[in-house]
Structure 1
Amino acid sequence: MRPFYFSSPTAGVANGPGQPTSVPRTRVLWLSCMAHALHDGYTDMIYALLPVWQADFGLNYGALAILRGIYAGTMATLQLPAGRLARAWGTRSTLAFGTLLAALGYALAGMSGTLLGLCVALAISGSGSSTQHPLASGAVSRVYGRNARGPLSVYNFSGDLGKSVLPAAISLLITIMPWRHALWAVSTVGVLAAAVIALFLPSVPRGEPSIEETSRQNSNGSRSGFSLLFTIGVLDTAVRMGLLTFLPFLLKTKGISQPMMGTALALVFIGGAAGKFVCGWLGARVGVTGTVLATEGGTAALILAVIWLPLTPAVILLPLLGVMLNGTSSVLYGTVPELTSVERTERAFALFYTGTIASGALAPVAYGFLGDRIGVHGATIATAATALAVLPLALALRSHLRTT
């Protein structure tokens, strides 16, 4: 029996009234997953490069933070324009161009001899990466229609694979060659990926929704429903990034060794990757509300348990904590198409990703200031309280959903 996300190899998508077209679903899914893995890997690759740039350019920590912020900032702010560009160029052309631009940005970074040149190169690469989230997730959503929740969880999971592989690859490459050559090598991968997308990503017609679908979207896919989903996504991201900021310090107070610290964080990330896959599948079967209540309630309970338990049982709980921390996101991403009309799918994803990326950037700062005032334990408890604040919002979202 094939997995749920391969239930049909093709999807009938209306190209216009009376013009159905057959789109190979699995090819759209896997090429979208490839794009997600590459772009998310490019985004997190910067963390492995910061120490190298610090030594080469003589940068302080503030300048390093600016470099990271330039990439993340351009990626976040240009997602909505990327969606508008796709309406003129088409998803395939825009996504291929964005992937090429992201790769060329890193190639230019390898050629840069000044800090200004490096900043410009990262802005170019971040601009290219702004196309991936709204367009790739929108393409998966279109070809799978009402069955998109499971495939979107696979798409979501693929980003974690890229975050694991590319930073590790660049870390290895800079030990055997100059960092500039290493950047040219990984940029070549991006150029090849752009060519694959341009040649093989099926053209996904934008289509018009049926009368039945329009009626359903008018009643369930309301603006207030999307606003609730957006707020839940922002708070969920804030919990995740806030906790990850304090978790090393929390474990340090329990006496963890430095080598064991790396293992502990790896356990969280492994659990998180599994959570994205499993909870997307779970949301498709037991409903959005129940899954979000379980993951956010479980997150709060496990955060408190990790705070109060001794080191060994706390570490044992970390994979499960990772599942809960990351699991909600797959459910939320899979719900975006349900709360928006077909022709506005890319815009809805762009808005949603912009909000969650901004939350991921700002939440550690906010919790950091709170930690300065009330300490590590108090700030970590605040992340648990934020998770609990999602519960009434999830209940309010129930009335806007086709399935609860």
Structure 2
Amino acid sequence: MRLFSFSSPVTRAADDRGQPGVETRKRVLWLSCVAHALHDGYTDMIYALLPVWQADFGLGYGALAILRGVYAGTMATLQLPAGRLARTWGTRATLACGTLLAALGYAVAGLSGTLPGLCVALAVSGSGSSTQHPLASGAVSRAYGRQARGPLSVYNFAGDLGKSALPAAISLLITVMPWRHALWAMSCIGMLVAAVIALFLPSIPRSAAVVEEPAPQAVQGARSGFSLLLTIGVLDTAVRMGLLTFLPFLLKAKGISPAMMGTALALVFIGGAAGKFVCGWLGARMGPIGTVLATEGGTAALILAVIFLPLAPALVVLPLLGLMLNGTSSVLYGTVPELTPVERTERAFALFYTGTIASGALAPVAYGLLGDRIGVQDATIATALTALVIVPVALMLGRHLRETGS
């Protein structure tokens, strides 16, 4: 018996022009959002587990850093191979298998009794999560074509929901059951999501989004434009991670209480989640370059405001700062498919996410070393200056977008 009927013009997989139907596009978007929420939640769930593992295994901070690095490292380095694998297996099969592998990794972690065992388990889970960003982003891009910018912002926002929900869920579970049982429960959720993806994620042919063959000069311009876009993504991530490294120390110097520190950081993260959603749609209306200029200029101005304002006004601007910090990312993700041939969408997203994840790992180290030399306040000013460096790069990107007609 068929699970779905595509006989009507609304629900069938493709319309008369070979483009995905409305219902198909919606299903691709929402299943991609579920995958994003699960995998990003799995990634940040480690933070809630580190204190438990430290107490249970007697681990030092260096060993805990290794655990986090193993997961992030495998996830970042395997994104390009995941994109290539999808060209052979297909997006649906590769994403479903990756989700299952990520879930099984946490199940194995629940069986581990040593640090090497945990490292192996997290490497397995991280390798599974490497499939999500390039493949789900590529699926949404192919499904929506030129209208993908808004849906990609929804997809991007879903990741923040997962980052909030799954760490909170595991923290709650470990208060009522052993942490190993809690991990098995979270693993079962991942297995269920993998099954749903395998059964229900529509297959969008790469040819479905191809409208016309671009001219050779447009292709060359798009390649140059993608390099500029990746540069902006790397710098934007560096600004965000650098500021978040120093923000607690800035607020502490202003006299914030330990109880209020968590609230202050939550204000930034709430603003950041809203920024991913709002700025993606804003970019679809006022254009990516105008939005990037506004968010980066606003980021620089608000960083300086947080540095020099007293505590109470600084807390007031934190949600807006979070919106500006995270808002650029949705605009950038939405621009990736505009600079990429449809058959190379997964590879483009894999390159983009690999660059930004690497920047997120290295930027705190670089800014931290700078802070040791010139102090926290001056190093934070350096993050604002980095945001301003993005402005001329964005203007150069705007020229490429006009040349390619994107």
Indicate the TM-score class for this superposition, using the shorter chain for normalisation: over 0.9
Residue of structure 1 equivalent to 2:5: none
Write the distance in 2 (CA, Å) between the matches of 1:284 and 1:116: 47
* Alpha-carbon offset, residue 269 of structure 1: 0.3
Partner of 1:81, secondary structure, is: helix
Give the total of aligned pairs: 394
Matched, 1:153 2:141: no
Please give the per-residue CA displacement for 1:48-84, whole angstroms capped at 9, x wherever unaligned: 0001111111111111001000000000000000000
Given that residues 150 and 284 in structure 1 are in contact (C-alpha distance below 8 angstroms), is that contact kept between their aligned partners in structure 2?
A: yes
Given that residues 276 and 323 in structure 1 are in contact (C-alpha distance below 8 angstroms), is that contact kept between their aligned partners in structure 2?
A: yes
Residue of structure 1 equivalent to 2:359: 359
Matches within 5 A, 1:14-53: 22=21, 24-53=24-53
Write the distance in 1 (CA, Å) between the matches of 2:129 and 2:15: 27
Please give the per-residue CA displacement for 1:243-262, whole angstroms capped at 9, x wherever unaligned: 00110000000000011111
Partner of 1:207, secondary structure, is: helix
Residue of structure 2 equivalent to 1:106: 106
Matches within 5 A, 1:177-326: 177-207=177-207, 210=210, 212-215=212-215, 218-219=218-219, 222-326=222-326
Partner of 2:68, secondary structure, is: helix
Given that residues 273 and 326 in structure 2 are in contact (C-alpha distance below 8 angstroms), is that contact kept between their aligned partners in structure 1?
A: yes
Cα gap change, 1:368 to 1:216, in 2 (>3 Å): same
Given that residues 9 and 25 in structure 1 are in contact (C-alpha distance below 8 angstroms), is that contact kept between their aligned partners in structure 2?
A: no
Residue of structure 2 equivalent to 1:165: 165
* Alpha-carbon offset, residue 401 of structure 1: 1.4
Matched, 1:391 2:391: yes
Q: Please, what TM-score do these two structures have when normalized by structure 2?
A: 0.94
* Alpha-carbon offset, residue 222 of structure 1: 2.0
Provide structure 2 residue ranges, at least 5 long, that are not aligned to the other structure.
1-9
Please give the per-residue CA displacement for 1:278-311, whole angstroms capped at 9, x wherever unaligned: 0000000000111000000000000000000000
Cα gap change, 1:217 to 1:97, in 2 (>3 Å): farther
- Identity of matched residues, %: 81
Matches within 5 A, 1:104-143: 104-143=104-143
Cα gap change, 1:334 to 1:100, in 2 (>3 Å): same
Partner of 1:113, secondary structure, is: coil
Cα gap change, 1:111 to 1:389, in 2 (>3 Å): same
Cα gap change, 1:140 to 1:210, in 2 (>3 Å): closer
Write the distance in 2 (CA, Å) between the matches of 1:342 and 1:208: 9
Please give the per-residue CA displacement for 1:86-123, whole angstroms capped at 9, x wherever unaligned: 00000000000000000000000000011111100000
Given that residues 40 and 160 in structure 1 are in contact (C-alpha distance below 8 angstroms), is that contact kept between their aligned partners in structure 2?
A: yes
* Alpha-carbon offset, residue 386 of structure 1: 0.5
Whichever residue aligns with residue 155 of structure 1, its letter is Y
Whichever residue aligns with residue 342 of structure 1, its letter is V
Provide structure 1 residue ranges, at least 5 long, that are not aligned to the other structure.
1-7
Please give the per-residue CA displacement for 1:204-252, whole angstroms capped at 9, x wherever unaligned: 1121765735239835752110000000000000000010011000000
Whichever residue aligns with residue 85 of structure 1, its letter is L
Write the distance in 1 (CA, Å) between the matches of 2:376 and 2:338: 39
Matches within 5 A, 1:44-63: 44-63=44-63
* Alpha-carbon offset, residue 399 of structure 1: 1.4
Write the distance in 1 (CA, Å) between the matches of 2:193 and 2:259: 36
Write the distance in 1 (CA, Å) between the matches of 2:213 and 2:323: 33
Indicate the RMSD between aligned Cα atoms, in angstroms: 1.8
* Alpha-carbon offset, residue 381 of structure 1: 0.5
Partner of 1:182, secondary structure, is: helix
Partner of 2:110, secondary structure, is: helix
Cα gap change, 1:200 to 1:114, in 2 (>3 Å): same
* Alpha-carbon offset, residue 380 of structure 1: 0.5
Given that residues 110 and 183 in structure 1 are in contact (C-alpha distance below 8 angstroms), is that contact kept between their aligned partners in structure 2?
A: yes
Please give the per-residue CA displacement for 1:105-159, whole angstroms capped at 9, x wherever unaligned: 0000000011111100000000000000000000000010000000000000000
Cα gap change, 1:133 to 1:264, in 2 (>3 Å): same
Whichever residue aligns with residue 112 of structure 2, its letter is S
Write the distance in 1 (CA, Å) between the matches of 2:284 and 2:20: 26
